[in-house]
Every structure is written in structure tokens, then in C-alpha cells.
Amino acid sequence: MTARVGVVTFPGSLDDGDAARAVRIAGAEPVRLWHGDAELHGVDAVVLPGGFSYGDYLRCGAIARFAPVMERVVDAAQGGLPVLGICNGFQILCEAHLLPGALTRNQHLHFRNRDQVLRVESTGTAWTNAFQAGQEILIPVKNGEGCYVADTATLDELEGEGRVVARYVGGNPNGSQRDIAAITNPAGNVVGIMPHPEHAVEALTGPSLDGLGFFTSVLKHLVGTPA
């Protein structure tokens, strides 16, 4: 059976269609999930897409975190369900305390959209097992509040436990501490990433196909996990 990967749409989600397309291209079945729907419809994994959920009011991801669907996502994630938060999704995961730290205003205060080189630091997660450790990939980054910050202890812990999933190379686009672009939880099933792998899955529309690896990874992971 093909894996069913849920893509949540919050009011103000923008890259939900792109995430669903990426899931489809990777060979899985995208399942659209609605923010007000406290139900995951038995999906095997969940993607929290990029955008401006609830207009980024109060704080990026601060309101989305309380959406009915998020209660289920949090429970399931703690139970091992693979969850990928992209950009705004990363912000939501931090607000929901599934991931440590926070994403703040870019240091230079500008929204920035560019093709960004990343180095994959950890391939032990549900979303990066298709990459080689140390592999450099090119995927778009586009955010106004993508500057990852955490206290030193947390940063050291992330580094020590190999939970820094990807780092910016060739220029840090937002001032993130230690060039952090993506991190994971201790179990490795929840990954938050600021750049947009779903925008690098088609040669025609992306700077590369490097983003596809995140979505094929979760399929590999799911095959490995007893349903």
C-alpha cells in the first residue's frame, strides 16, 4: 500500500499545495487535513506546510499551535508519527514544544528568498535517511522570521545528540545561531526545517531536485516501521 501523508491547511497556509505535490511526486498519497478538524484520518505521516498561518498574528505559529488538529498532531508525534514542519511549520512545532528553541526575525530584518546550499548533518531522522551525511543540497529558503535561536545549553545538547539536521552553507540567510537550518527531536521522527524542500522537487520549477529526498526518506522510514 502507498503511504498516506497528511498535509495540514491552516488559514494562511500557502505552501500546502506544494507540499502535497511533493508528497505525490515522491510516490505517496497526499491527504489534505483541515486545521479545525481534530482528526488525522489515519495518515502515516504529517507535513505542516509553510505560509503565514493566522497571519502570523501574535507570533509566528503561536495561534496555529492551538488549532484542534494540532492536539492530535502533538499526541501522534509523541507516539512516533513522522512530522515535518517546513518554515511556518517549523515555527509551529517550536510553539507546540515538539522542538526546542524559537525562530525570530531575520537579523537583517528583510524577508529573503534565495536558492540556499545546506549541508545535511544528520541522516538518522525519518525525513533525512535518504541523504548522505555531510551531503550538500540546494533548496530555496524564503522567510522573514527564520533566525533560529536557543540558549547555549539547548544548542550544545542539539549538537551533542546529533539533532542538528541541516546547516546553512555559503552564507547564513537569516542569522540563525550556529547556521542551523533544521533540527529534530530526540526520537528523530519530528523535523523542523526553515528552507523549503517542497520547492525543489521538479527540475522545471525548482533550483534542483534535492528537496525530494525529504519525502522519499519518510517513505523508506515507514516501510521500516511496522504499521
Which residues are near other proteins by CB under 8 A? 11-12, 14-15, 17-18, 21, 50-52, 54-57, 108-115, 117, 138, 140, 142, 144, 170-171, 173, 196, 198-199, 202-210
Considering beta carbons, is residue 49 or 101 the nearer one to other proteins? Answer: 49
Please answer whether residues 121 and 164 qualify as being in contact, where contact means their C-beta atoms are separated by less than 8 angstroms: yes
Please answer whether residues 120 and 133 qualify as being in contact, where contact means their C-beta atoms are separated by less than 8 angstroms: yes
Considering beta carbons, is residue 19 or 218 the nearer one to other proteins? Answer: 19
Q: What is the dihedral of CA 7, 11, 12, 17, to 10 degrees?
A: 30
Q: How far is the CB of 185 from other proteins (least distance, A)?
A: 27
Does 198 participate in catalysis according to the annotation?
yes
Write down the catalytic residue from 87, 94, 145, 147: 87
Does 145 participate in catalysis according to the annotation?
no
Does 159 participate in catalysis according to the annotation?
no
Instruction: Report d(CA 226, CA 222) in Å as an integer.
Output: 8
The H or E element spanning position 90 is helix 88-95
Write down the catalytic residue from 95, 121, 145, 198: 198
112-120 and 45-48 as β-strands: parallel, antiparallel, unpaired?
A: unpaired
Please answer whether residues 65 and 105 qualify as being in contact, where contact means their C-beta atoms are separated by less than 8 angstroms: no
Q: How far is the CB of 125 from other proteins (least distance, A)?
A: 24
Considering beta carbons, is residue 17 or 162 the nearer one to other proteins? Answer: 17
Residues belonging to the active site: 87, 196, 198
